């Protein structure tokens, strides 16, 4: 079950963090994985790490907020690999860095950065990739999202949460347009993950499973949504959060 042999998966922002775990789990299920990142060295190192496990992986550098760069990358990938069967939009934290900014101090340029990556990046990639998925009658679009879209963290995440909520609205509506073509569009809502300092302490307080989430937790859920067996799951947001929010 959940095998992905013969499928090609593109994962954005996969040079490190959750995205790398997603790429690794997809490749372990047999997919050929394209490790995208803003930074060429991260994309190449990620792909190399997978190849060292005897998995099929290639690096692809592109800024997901740059529409032209995304279209060029997709064109090359389709020419080289024949298809992109699974697209995971994982890149969601701007490469230029970010901080917690209370709303009243946050400049519109910061709101734009979150929206450009989490919403427009996803939409650019979907417009580039979907025609080929629809033509083949099979595809999986999966957006990595966050519980910040549906909670009041009080941690200066207004613009981030708003951008993530917008991406969920997009995924839900998209699912209604692509399902009839054999393509599904879903999202994951992540809780506190283990790649930042202090996360273990927060997760112990908020999650009923007393640890922060790992890249492999994310990858396992994505393998399911990407698999042929998840054909009837469409337009959904799957929480992967250790039980910290249960509705």
Ligand X SMILES: NC(=O)c1ccc[n+]([C@@H]2O[C@H](COP(=O)([O-])OP(=O)(O)OC[C@H]3O[C@@H](n4cnc5c(N)ncnc54)[C@H](O)[C@@H]3O)[C@@H](O)[C@H]2O)c1
Q: Which one of 87, 114, 160, 170 is the catalytic residue?
A: 160
Nearer to ligand X, 174 or 187 (CB): 187
Nearer to ligand X, 85 or 217 (CB): 217
x/- contact string, 32-71, with ligand X (CB under 6 A)?
A: ----xxxx--x--------------------xxx------
CB of 191 to ligand X, least distance (A): 7
Q: For ligand X, which residue of 7, 13, 24, 183 counts as binding (CB under 6 A)?
A: 13
CB 171 within 8 A of CB 234: no
Residue partners of 29: CB distance under 8 A and separation at least 6: 2, 3, 4, 5, 223, 227
Task: From 14-22, 200-208, 221-229, 231-239, give the range in contact with ligand X by CB under 6 A.
Answer: 14-22
CA angle 165, 170, 176 (to 5 degrees): 135
Q: How far apart are CA 189 and CA 245, in angstroms?
A: 10
CA angle 119, 65, 20 (to 5 degrees): 85
Q: For ligand X, which residue of 95, 123, 220, 233 counts as binding (CB under 6 A)?
A: 95
Q: Does 156 bind ligand X (CB under 6 A)?
A: no
Nearer to ligand X, 31 or 221 (CB): 221
Q: For ligand X, which residue of 78, 93, 123, 233 counts as binding (CB under 6 A)?
A: 93
Nearer to ligand X, 134 or 155 (CB): 155
CB of 137 to ligand X, least distance (A): 28
Which residues 167-226 are close enough to bind ligand X by CB under 6 A?
A: 190, 192-193, 195-196
Q: Say how many residues touch ligand X, by CB under 6 A.
A: 29
Residue 100 annotated as catalytic: no
CB of 230 to ligand X, least distance (A): 20
- Interacting residues with ligand X (CB under 6 A): 12-13, 15-19, 36-39, 42, 63-65, 90-95, 117, 144, 146, 190, 192-193, 195-196
């Amino acid at each position: 079950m959940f095998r992905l042999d013969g499928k090609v998966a593109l994962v954005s922002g996969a040079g490190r963090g959750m995205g790398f775990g997603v790429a690794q789990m997809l490749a372990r299920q047999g997919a050929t994985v394209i490790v995208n990142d803003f930074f060429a060295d991260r994309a190449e190192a990620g792909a190399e790490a997978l190849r060292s496990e005897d998995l099929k992986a290639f690096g692809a550098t592109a800024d997901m907020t740059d529409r032209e760069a995304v279209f060029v990358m997709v064109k090359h990938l389709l020419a080289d690999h024949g298809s992109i069967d699974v697209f995971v939009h994982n890149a969601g934290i701007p490469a230029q860095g970010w901080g917690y900014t209370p709303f009243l101090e946050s400049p519109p340029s910061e709101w734009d950065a979150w929206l450009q990556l989490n919403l427009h990046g996803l939409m650019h990639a979907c417009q580039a990739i979907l025609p080929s998925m629809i033509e083949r009658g099979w595809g999986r679009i999966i957006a990595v999202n966050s519980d910040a879209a549906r909670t009041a963290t009080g941690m200066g995440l207004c613009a981030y949460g708003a951008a993530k909520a917008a991406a969920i609205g997009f995924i839900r509506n998209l699912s209604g347009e692509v399902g009839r073509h054999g393509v599904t569009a879903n999202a994951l809502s992540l809780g506190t993950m283990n790649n930042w300092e202090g996360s273990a302490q927060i997760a112990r307080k908020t999650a009923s499973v007393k640890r922060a989430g790992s890249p492999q937790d994310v990858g396992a859920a994505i393998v399911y949504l990407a698999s042929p067996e998840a054909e009837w799951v469409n337009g959904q947001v799957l929480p992967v959060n250790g039980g910290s929010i249960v509705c």
